[in-house]
Amino acid sequence: MSFNTMEDEPHAPPIQIINKMDQEPIPPWVFYYTNRIYHRPGVPDPDIVNLIGCNCVGKCDPKSEACACVKRQRDLIPFPAENMEAYNSGFLYDKQKRLKHRDYPIVECNALCGCYAECMNRVVQHGRTVAVTIQKTKKKGWGVFAGSKKIPSGTFLGIYSGELLNVEESNERGKYYNSWGKTYLFDIDFYFIPNKDHHGDVVVQYTMDAYHAGNFTRFLNHSCEPNSKIFGCFVNEANLGKPLLAVFATRDIEPNKEICVSYVGDEDNDPGDAAQKDGAVYIPCQCDAPSCSGRMFG
Ligand SMILES: C[S@@+](CC[C@H](N)C(=O)[O-])C[C@H]1O[C@@H](n2cnc3c(N)ncnc32)[C@H](O)[C@@H]1O
C-alpha cells in the first residue's frame, strides 16, 4: 500500500451533505474517505528514484532557466510553435495559484525541491481550499455542488483519489459496476501517455477506482457542458504513466451550482475518460444541458 499525494488538507472546509429530494440522509457510505492513492497489485509504486527536484531557494521563478521544475514542465509541452505562451510561462499556474494554461500535463515542485511550501508551483499537493457540498440530485443520484462562495475558473478542487488498478483488475471490476449501471472507474489515458498498441489502438494501463476508497470527487456527475475538468498532474512521481487526476474548475462556478466534469475524453484522448468496460449498460445522460448528447460516454 502506498501513496503519492499529501493526505491532509489543512485548508479544506468541511463538506456538508444535503438532501432536498427525498428521505435518504446520506449517500451509501460504502467507501473509505481518503485523498490517498492505493496501489493495487500489478501497479508499480511511485517512481521516486528518477524524480528530479529543483535547487531553488524560497519561491521558484517561472522565468528561470535554472529551475529543474520549469524545465520538466516545458519538456511536457508539445513543441512550442503553437504553445509558445504556455512554454514561456514556465509554470501552468498564475500568481493566484489558478490553472492558467489548460491543455497540458501539470508538473509541480516535489518533495526533493529546495523551494518552500508557498512556491506558486505547489497547488494540488496542498489539497482543496474551497467549500463544496454533496447533494442529492433529481435524476443522477448524489452530486458535488459549490458551497456558498463562487469558485473562480482555474481553481483546484480535488484529486480523484482511490485505488489504482491494472487493466485486468479494472476490467474485472468494471463488469460488476456496469451491471449496477453505476461506475466509479476512471481510465488514465491522457494524450501524453504512450499507450498505443501496434495497431494504433489505445491500451489503457491503469484505471482509478473510487468505489471502495475515495473523496468527494467520486460524486462528480457527468455533464455535456461541464464546468470542471480532470488534468494529469505529477508531484512525487516520475512515472509519466501514473499522473494524479486533478480536478480544476474550467469556468466560474456560482454558489450552490453543481460541479460536473465530462466523462468523455476529448477527441485526442485528453483528458482521460471515465472507464466504460465491455458489456457496459449505457444509461442515458440526464445532464439537461442544452447541447446534451444523450450519452455519458463517447
Ligand atoms: C462517479 S459516479 C457519480 C456519483 C453518483 N451520482 C452517486 O450517486 O454516487 C457515476 C455514476 O453517476 C451517475 N451519473 C453521473 N452523471 C450522470 C448523468 N449525466 N446522467 C445520468 N447519470 C449520471 C451514473 O450512474 C454514473 O455511473
pLDDT at 273: 57
Closest Cα to atom 4, ligand 1: which residue? 219
Question: Which residue among 29, 182, 293 has the greatest number of ligand 1 atoms within 8 angstroms of its CB, and so is best to mutate?
Answer: 182
Question: Which residue among 26, 222, 286 has the greatest number of ligand 1 atoms within 8 angstroms of its CB, and so is best to mutate?
Answer: 222
What distance in angstroms lies between residue 97's CA and the mean position of ligand 1's atoms? 30
| Spatial separation of the C-alpha atoms in residues 203 and 91, rounded to whole Å | 30
Closest Cα to atom 15, ligand 1: which residue? 221
pLDDT band per the 50, 70, 90 thresholds, residue 270: very low
Within a domain: 194: yes
pLDDT 10s digits, 259-269:
999 998 765 44
CATH number of residue 72's parent domain: 2.170.270.10
Residue 128 has pLDDT above 80, yes or no: yes
Distance of CA 95 to the CA centre of its chain: 21
Output phi, psi for 163, to 5 deg: -100, 130
Decide: 287 in ligand 1 pocket, CB within 6 A.
yes
Window from 45-49, 202-206, 239-243, 277-281 with minimum mean pLDDT? 277-281
Within a domain: 266: no
Structural domain tally of the chain?
A: 1
What are the grid coordinates assigned to 260, written together? Answer: 460536473
pLDDT 10s digits, 63-112:
999 999 999 999 999 888 889 999 999 999 999 999 999 999 999 999 99
Q: Annotate the chain with DSSP letters as a single string.
A: ---SS----TTPPPPEEE-SSSS--S----SEE-S-EEEPTTSPPP--TT-------BS--TT-SS-HHHHHHHHTS--GGGGHHHHHHSSSB-TTS-B---SS-EE---TT--B-TT-TT-SGGG---S-EEEEE-SSSSEEEEE-SS-B-TT-EEEE--EEEEEHHHHHHHHHHHHHHT---EEE---TTS--B-TTS-B---EEEE-SSEE-GGGGPEE-SS-SEEEEEEESS---TT--EEEEEESS-B-TTPEEEE-SSPPTT--SPPBP--TT---PBP----TT--SBS--
Decide: 275 in ligand 1 pocket, CB within 6 A.
no
Within a domain: 272: no
Residue 258 C-beta-side C-alpha neighbours within 13 Å: 23
Decide: 156 in ligand 1 pocket, CB within 6 A.
no
Residue 224 belongs to domain spanning = 16-261
Within a domain: 286: no
Within a domain: 210: yes
Decide: 140 in ligand 1 pocket, CB within 6 A.
yes
- Give the ipTM of the model, two decimals please: 0.99
Atom of ligand 1 at shortest range from CA of 177: 27
Residue 285 has pLDDT above 50, yes or no: yes
Atom of ligand 1 at shortest range from CA of 260: 16
pLDDT at 123: 97
Within a domain: 10: no
Decide: 182 in ligand 1 pocket, CB within 6 A.
yes
Decide: 138 in ligand 1 pocket, CB within 6 A.
no
Q: Annotate 12-54 with DSSP letters as a single string.
A: PPPPEEE-SSSS--S----SEE-S-EEEPTTSPPP--TT----
pLDDT at 1: 34
Window from 216-220, 274-278, 288-292 with minimum mean pLDDT? 274-278
Atom of ligand 1 at shortest range from CA of 142: 8
Within a domain: 280: no
Residue type, 216: F
Supply the pTM of this predicted model.
0.93
pLDDT band per the 50, 70, 90 thresholds, residue 151: very high
Within a domain: 206: yes
pLDDT 10s digits, 248-259:
999 999 999 999
